[in-house]
Amino acid sequence: MFEPYKTGHYYDEMLQENGEPKEHYRQFHSVLQRLSEEEFKEKHETAQSSFLRQGITFTVYGEEGGTERTMPFDCVPIIIPADAWETIEKGMKQRVEALNLFLEDIYHDQHILNDGIIPRELVEQNPYYYKQVSGTQFPLKNHIFLAGIDLIRDEQGTYRVLEDNLRNPSGISYVFQNRFVMRQVYPEFFSRHSLCSLEDQITHLQSALLSHIPSNMKKHTEPRAVLLTAGMYNSAYYDHVFLAQQMNIALVEGRDLIVKDNVVYMKTIQGLKRVDIIYRRVDDDFLDPKAFREDSLLGVPGLIDAYKQGNVAILNAVGNGVADDKAMYTYVPDMIRYYLKEEPIIQNVETYILSDPKQREWVLEHLHELVVKNVGASGGYDMLIGPHASEEEIEIFRSKILENPKQYIAQPTIKLSRAPVYQQGNFYPCHVDLRVFVMKGEETHVLPGGLSRVALKKGSLVVNSSQGGGGKDTWVLKEVMQHA
């Protein structure tokens, strides 16, 4: 079945160099072997069409009005043994804890800047640093209700953090839908595995959400929470629908909300109803045309004032972007040491800061070996993958860096781990990463597994869905594997 699959120089999630499955994949592998090629093909197609029928799509911009696509689904799951997951879980909690302390600090006392751990201009000149909300008191002092942290594994199989997403990380709905479709289409895979279930995860998310009580809310009343979406043409609209539905909160658009006397209301058929908590999936800039971009049609005029007065909670907090910037990323291990007095459990990917002349010089000499990223961009845009780039592309980036060194960082091309995928009738290895979701309210909770994203194009390193990447189910095994 797996011929002519070769693990090559990469770390493979499932197979050893000799083609045998790794210990924690053995049972899955044996079930897989028992399916005929015909059966497998048919199941594969059923799974794909199920996503389309359910409208589990994301929108790709650029074409006329945006086109809806389903994220291609691959049925070979990523399996994570219990002990490995335990380390990831601890590492994620540690990281989010430190990032949150950092955000609280830089919007209030700025100890970390005063102590010279992080260069002041990196914060204060950052376009995502919103002075407008400095000094604002947050419910639970929590800036991060939901984080999506991207992990990769290097050629030794060591997990490393690639990126922190602390603004509006999307993809959590796919985690649930992938599992749902997997269970429907491949029930036989599940019978011999004991997995961490996703069933009660939404309850954790919901209680984390509702624990953000704004300071002026009447005591002993139920908070009214809403999910603020940019609307059905937003690329992650399905994610918004899913979350609103599962958490049982209203899905609202900017035009459904109104601020009167610094209090936020929603417009209902019976008039205005007060809103206490807003889980927004709209970027900072668009939230309030009075405070930020005047031209925003998505926003709610006066929202930020209501927020600063403590009349409404906004999650994730305004101004988180400063902490998930690709340049700030290099300092996260320092934040962990500074605030928690601990060593980072999950390491960063080595990163070169291009505003530093020495590092820049070295990077410019080694562009063909490195990955260069714009610190402000996401979704795989404005990046250079050195080993795959033409001379011309490299020269373009050289001048981009020289022109604006602060805007870019460079990282070694990591040999991202790979896992088998089944597409177009055969198995082949593709690069994967893992987005882990951390929910933080009164308690911090890590969703077991997360969204495994896979670069389905042969040889491609970009796993992002807007660049043709797909998704895989992620299993966290309940028990530690018995090594015979």
Partner 1 sequence: MLSRVADALYWMARNGERTENNAHILQVQLVKMLEESGRESVNYQDWQTVIDICGSKSAYEEDYGELRVHKAVDYIAFSNGNSNALTNTLSYVRENARMTRDVIPNELWEVWNDLYLHSQSKGPHTEFSFQDIHSFLQHIKTTSMTSTGIIDSMMSRDLPYHFMKIGQWLERAEKTALIMKVMLQKAKLSDCHSFSEYDGQFALRLVNGYQDYSKKFRLKDPALILQFLISDRTFPRSIYYCIEHVKEVIWKIESEKVAHYSWRMYAALDELIASVEDVCVQQLSFEELEMFIADILNQCIEFGKIFSTTYYLIEADASR
- Binding residues vs partner 1 (CB under 8 A): 52-55, 232, 237, 241, 244-245, 250-253, 255-256, 266-269, 271
- What span, in angstroms and rounded, lies between the C-alpha atoms of 395 and 390? 9
Six-digit token pair at 222? 């139920």
**The token pair that represents 176 in the structure block:** 């649930």
Q: Angle, nearest 10°, between helix axes 237-247 and 201-210?
A: 80
Please state the closest distance from residue 227 (CB atom) to partner 1, in A.
8
Note whether 472 and 431 are within 8 A (CB): no
Q: How far is the CB of 258 from partner 1 (least distance, A)?
A: 11
Q: Smaller CB distance to partner 1: residue 298 or 410?
A: 298
- Count of residues making up the chain: 484
Minimum Å gap between C-beta 267 and partner 1 is 5
Residue nearer to partner 1 on the CB measure, 268 or 404: 268
CA 43/CA 474 separation, integer angstroms: 18
The answer to whether the CB of 307 falls within 8 A of the CB of 66 is no
Nearer to partner 1, 255 or 388 (CB): 255
Q: Which is nearer to partner 1, 18 or 248 (CB)?
A: 248
- The single-letter DSSP state of residue 200 is T
Of the candidates 79, 182, 145, which has an alpha carbon nearest to the alpha carbon of residue 441? 145
Least spacing, CB of residue 359 vs partner 1, in Å: 48
Of the pair 158, 245, the CB lying nearest partner 1 is at: 245
The minimum distance between CB 277 and partner 1, in angstroms, equals 16
Contact 163, 464 (CB under 8 A): no
Maximum Cα–Cα distance across the chain: 69
Shortest separation between residue 309's beta carbon and partner 1, angstroms: 24
Q: How far is the CB of 295 from partner 1 (least distance, A)?
A: 16
Q: How far is the CB of 238 from partner 1 (least distance, A)?
A: 8
Closest CB to partner 1 among residues 297, 377: 297
Three-point CA angle 160, 161, 165, nearest 5°: 165
Q: Which of 330, 332, 465, 335 is nearest to 411 (CA)?
A: 330
Answer for the pair 319, 284: CB distance below 8 angstroms, yes or no.
yes
Nearer to partner 1, 226 or 317 (CB): 226
Please identify, using beta-carbon distances, which residue of 256 and 334 lies nearer to partner 1: 256
Cβ distance to partner 1 smaller for residue 267 or 366 = 267
Report in angstroms how near the CB of residue 482 gets to partner 1 at its nearest. 40
Q: Is 40 exposed, middle or buried (0-12, 13-18, 19+ CB in 10 A)?
A: middle
Q: How far is the CB of 64 from partner 1 (least distance, A)?
A: 14
Bridge-partner residues for 265, per DSSP?
258, 274
> In angstroms, rounded to a whole number, what is the distance separating the alpha carbons of residues 355 and 351?
12
Integer Cα distance of 324 and 375 in angstroms: 9
Q: What does the angle CA 34 – CA 39 – CA 41 come to, to the nearest 5 degrees?
A: 120
Q: Which is nearer to partner 1, 141 or 255 (CB)?
A: 255
Buried b (16+ CB within 10 A) or exposed e, 353-381: bbbeeebbeebbeebeebbbbbbbebebe
Q: What are phi and psi of 219, to 5 degrees?
A: -65, 155
Residue closer to partner 1 by CB (options 52, 377) is 52
Minimal distance, residue 61 CB to partner 1, in Å: 17
Exposure string (b/e) for 292-303, b if CB count within 10 Å is 16 or more? beeebebbbbbb
Number of H helices and E strands in the chain, helices first, is: 13, 22
Q: Shortest approach of partner 1 to residue 237 CB, angstroms?
A: 8
* Nearer to partner 1 (CB atom), residue 244 or residue 432: 244
CB 70 within 8 A of CB 454: no
Q: Which residues contact 86 (CB under 8 A, 6 or more apart)?
A: none
